[in-house]
Amino acid sequence: MNTSYYENRIQNRASHWLIIISMNLLLGLVIFLWTFVGLFLFPFAFGVMRLGKGRNTAWITRWCIWVYGRVWQFFTRLFVTFETINYHPSRFETPGIIVVNHRSFFDTYCMNMLPEFNICFAVRDWPFGIPIYNIFMRMAGYLNIEKYDWEKSLTRSRQTLAEKGFILFFPEGHRSKTHEMTRFFSGAFKLAVETNTPIIPICLTGTEDLLPPDRPYMAPARIRLQVLHPVFPSQIQGEPKHLALKKRVKQIMAEHLAAMDEKKSHYQV
């Protein structure tokens, strides 16, 4: 029996759990404190932008949420690596509908990795029941896709797009417990066809290591985000067009996610 081998395994396991515990205690405290500070600063930032720059409520709130996420990311870098792949700013020159795969609760937080903050999230009903969060979600004009009828969602989306903003969907609707994407819902793609707006696919990996659906604590991770080429409804053949668009976008995302996961297997956090 190789005693040193087992001793090393025990030491490595102890070091691993020491890092896990330190990460969750420290980041939990930091996120709590930063949220408290953010709530205190928000009224002042809102007043300056509203009175000084004439911005509307949704624009100001989305900017503040983006800044909140950027600061969260700054502190999280103690344990998490954030990387954008082959990023091209031109992909956000035209307002569009962003679709992102969904592996973790923290996927929404990672959208601060994007350079664009004027993003209207389309989300299910349950987050609107979270105290404090729900206030900012309503101020930001987020879409409640389970409560709003199609006409209301379409009207609000047209307004956001007219103001050079973006609509963001997690088309799976819920977090995947594997690396495979689950069924896509059609709302984002129907909206793209109805408004003749491009779909901007985004692939996100690593958040399943940070906080997967079936684990109650955070762990160190390497998060990688890739913005793919926009897909325009006019490029798609087939009827119904929104279903053909959905199928094409999911295929493109699946191919890129497979490549990203394959690369991930060659390194360790």
Cα–Cα distance, 266 to 169 (Å, whole number)? 30
The reported pLDDT for the residue numbered 135 is 94
Mean of the per-residue pLDDT values of the chain: 90
Residue spans per domain, the chain: 56-264
The reported pLDDT for the residue numbered 90 is 81
Predicted confidence (pLDDT) per residue in 197-234, tens digit: 999 999 999 999 999 988 899 999 999 999 999 999 99
Element (H, E) at 97: strand 97-100
Cα–Cα distance, 190 to 154 (Å, whole number)? 10
With cut-offs at 50, 70 and 90, classify the pLDDT of residue 1.
Answer: very low
Predicted confidence (pLDDT) per residue in 61-84, tens digit: 999 999 999 999 999 999 999 999
Q: Which fold has domain 56-264?
A: Glycerol-3-phosphate (1)-acyltransferase (3.40.1130)
**Contact call for residues 199 and 99 (beta carbons, < 8 A):** yes
Average pLDDT of span 21-28: 93
Is beta strand 221-227 parallel, antiparallel or unpaired with respect to 199-205?
Answer: antiparallel
Sheet holding 80-85, edge to edge: 80-85, 221-227, 199-205, 97-100, 166-169, 119-123, 143-144
Average pLDDT of span 140-145: 94
The reported pLDDT for the residue numbered 269 is 45
